[in-house]
Amino acid sequence: MYTLDSVCALEGSSVDLSCFYKHPGGLTVTESFWFINETGVEPVDLLDDDQYKGRVQYHQNQNQLYHTVRITDLKASDSQIYNFRFITDDPDGKYFGSSGVSLSVTGLKIEVLNTEGGGKQLTCSSTCTLTNPTYIWYRNGQPVSEQNRAVLYLRDRTVDAGSYSCAVKEHEEIRSAAVYSPKETRAVVLPSGERKEGDSVTLTCSSDADPPVLTFYWFKQSVNESLGTGQNYSITNISSQHSGLYYCTALNQLGQHSSAPARLDVFYPPRPPSLSEFNGFNGSITLVCVSDSNPASSYTWRKAALSHSRSEDNTDGPASAPVYETVSDLAMTSRPCTGAASSDEVQYSTIQFKQSRPQEEPLCPTVHQTLAFNKEEEVEYATVNKARAETAR
């Protein structure tokens, strides 16, 4: 006769299975043991079963015909039906079948639900019914005071609710897996490397969360509204307008977490430059050349020296075309963009373009280069556009 027909125990804990037995008077018990009830298989003493080596102990009282097996460090695979058998010195003794004891081994699991008003409901559950359990809740590893029920209610609307786990009193060392809001959220732009206008890119977001992430939201740092949802966000036929910083936000039932921004740099050739003229002090003039490119451009200045082949007597004759030469002896200065880093740049001028290595550091979209000279140096410059501005102050 088994003390209990079924037992539910926590994974990692210990359990005792007990029974009473009897036999005709005058006989002596020569052997007794527990085994797993497997139909058609010769019983194997748990003490000799490799699966239970070092985890089984027997306790018996032959005078009262009482026997107990203790199984320690329970595993999920220990969920079996266990039987007891004894043998006496009667060679004609008979074995009778029995239902045995059904052992179920369970872990603890937390289920999370959102409630009305933005609250959250956490339920500590098991796959079988534990006997009169008293639950203990932990937040970020510390006990939650005055909580001994299977359900924990969170009524605040904090972005990060923290990490929660549960246990059963007297088995505090056996805790459930923790549930927590998203963390370690990361945004990546693929493929990596240089990206040119017309290419396609995919932004992918990853995050560690339990329960798993419900939704990923994508944002561009310069835009206040969501660009879209989903773990991946694709952009086809990219242009310079797509350059910028992108980040994602991961959301689950317990909270949300945003990634650090990922940079998307779109490389494109220089746009047509424009030239502005400023009158300075002491009769000086400053020319400013402006162009947009990524990587930023370097500038080559050229002056056009007119070759006057017309005769003084024939002033109506055509003048020859300007002859251009590189400016090398005039004062030239570059005006760096705020925050721009030094880099290898694409070099070009109003006449020719030269290609060099791509830049790795972030670049300003507009680069200025100025050329200063005295008015007495009357020269012509090759330009795309010339605009006169107010006197610089």
Three-class secondary structure of residue 282 per DSSP: helix
**The predicted structure's pLDDT at residue 384:** 39
What is the third-level CATH fold of 184-264? Answer: Immunoglobulin-like (2.60.40)
Q: Which residues of the chain have pLDDT under 50?
A: 309-312, 329-370, 373-393
Per-residue pLDDT tens digits for 80-118: 999 999 989 998 887 776 789 999 999 999 999 888 777
pLDDT recorded at residue 277? 80
Nearest-angstrom CA–CA distance, 351 and 268: 18
> Please, what is the end-to-end C-alpha distance for the chain in angstroms?
106
pLDDT attached to residue 343: 34
Where do the DSSP E strands lie in 107-214?
Answer: 108-114, 120-126, 135-139, 142-143, 151-154, 163-168, 179-190, 201-210
Tell me what pLDDT residue 382 has. 42
Tell me which of 3.30.70.2200, 2.60.40.10, 3.40.50.300, 3.40.50.880 is the CATH number of domain 108-177: 2.60.40.10
List where CATH 2.60.40.10 sits in the chain. Answer: 6-105, 108-177, 184-264
Do residues 304 and 322 lie in contact, with contact meaning Cβ atoms separated by under 8 Å? Answer: yes
Q: CATH fold of 6-105, please?
A: Immunoglobulin-like (2.60.40)
Task: Report pLDDT for 172.
Answer: 92
Q: How confident is the model at residue 159, as a pLDDT?
A: 59
- Please answer whether residues 232 and 203 qualify as being in contact, where contact means their C-beta atoms are separated by less than 8 angstroms: yes
pTM of the model: 0.62
H/E run at residue 270 = none
**Is residue 147 within 8 Å of residue 50, measured between CB atoms?**
no
